[in-house]
Amino acid sequence: MRNFILFVRRFFNLILFLGLEIICIVLIARTNMLQGNDIMSSANALSGIMYQKQNDVVTYFGLRRMNDSLINENARLRLSLARYHSVDTIKDSLVHRAIKQDDSAHVVQYNDYTYRTAKVINNSVSSGNNYITINRGSDDGIAKNMAVISSTGVVGRVVHVSAHFASVLSVLSVKQQLSAKLKDGTFSYITWEGDSPDVMVLKDIPQQIKIRMNDSVFTTNYSFFPADILIGTVFKMKVNTKNNLRLLYLHPSTNFRNIQYVYVVENKMMGERTRLEDSVKKGK
């Protein structure tokens, strides 16, 4: 109490001045319409700024939860689209399999595919064979050779798996080529030549095929990816003088410089298909 009294005595003039100022402002705001409106407007503007800053802070700290929610919602939307590509037609009857969902494990299943969401924790775009590390592993159901896609298109293939992490060989790799098709169904193979992460090449396209700039190129059933996943768009065409076929230069649909979230896609029928095809090859 003694310290409080000493504080008041020391700053009495300042406290008195501030108190009188507050009283004057209140009286002006209540009795004078013009000045009162100005004061109220200023007070409302200040309150609005403070509330906006508070909302920005709350939103910032909630971004991670929002991202997780959005990527799970995107997985569900992808499966809704897959519904129209995963229908068995047997004697004019349509057969659908049920959707299974486990939000806690970030897993959504439909038909022959299981989609698992994952976050990119490491990425490269400047080497001959680029790899991406994701925060899901064998404990989350990830296995070697599973396809990896983004919200905009293809990403790569799982090549190494630990309990909690997985390494993905990006399509920006000179090690692999990717089966692809144009919108008219013409298919060939896409390669990356090890230069810019913004350029891929679709080779051996006959000149009679009608192609326009910005035409889309998609995955096929021949690859480990689900069919009809966007690979990129055509921005340049060139004729290969060696075989008189065209080379199509594509901008990848996935921005590999800024990729943050991906979907790991398990094709539950791939093992059976691979065993069958291998047995046919051995039989020859």
Going by C-alpha positions, the residue among 193, 195, 118, 104 that lies closest to residue 150 is: 118
Looking at the structure, tell me whether residues 139 and 266 fall in a common domain.
yes
- The confidence band for 130, taking pLDDT boundaries of 50, 70 and 90, is very high
Provide the β-strand partners of residue 161.
166
Question: For residues 36 and 30, is the Cβ–Cβ distance under 8 A?
Answer: yes
Whether 156 and 225 share a structural domain: no
Residues 266 and 142 both lie in one domain: yes
Tell me the C-alpha distance between 140 and 142, whole Å. 6
pLDDT at 268: 80
Q: Are residues 159 and 247 in the same domain?
A: no
Structural domain for 23, as ranges: 2-61
What is d(CA 107, CA 184) in angstroms, rounded to the nearest whole number? 33
**Whether residue 141 sits in one domain with residue 226:** no
- Amino acid 43: pLDDT: 59
Q: Is residue 23 part of a domain?
A: yes
* 16 in a structural domain: yes
The lowest-confidence range among 91-100, 202-211, 225-234 is 91-100
pLDDT score, position 79: 58
| Backbone φ, ψ for residue 136 (5° rounding) | -130, 145
153/80 same-domain check: yes
Residue 226 sits in a domain of what CATH number? 2.40.10.350
Residue 195 lies in a domain: yes
Alpha-carbon distances, residue 217 vs 21, 222, 225, 227 (angstroms)? 71, 14, 13, 11
User: 284 in a domain, yes or no?
Assistant: no
Nearest Cα to 116, choosing from 104, 106, 131?
106
Q: What is the pTM of this model?
A: 0.66
Q: Give the model's pLDDT for residue 23.
A: 76
Instruction: Determine, yes or no, domain membership for 26.
Output: yes
Confidence of residue 99 (pLDDT cuts 50, 70, 90): very low
User: Per the domain annotation, does 264 fall within a domain?
Assistant: yes
CATH number at residue 77: 2.40.10.340
Quick one: average pLDDT of 99-122?
Answer: 68
Q: How many domains does the chain have?
A: 3
Q: 245-263 b/e with 16+ CB inside 10 Å = b?
A: ebebbbbbbbebeebebbb
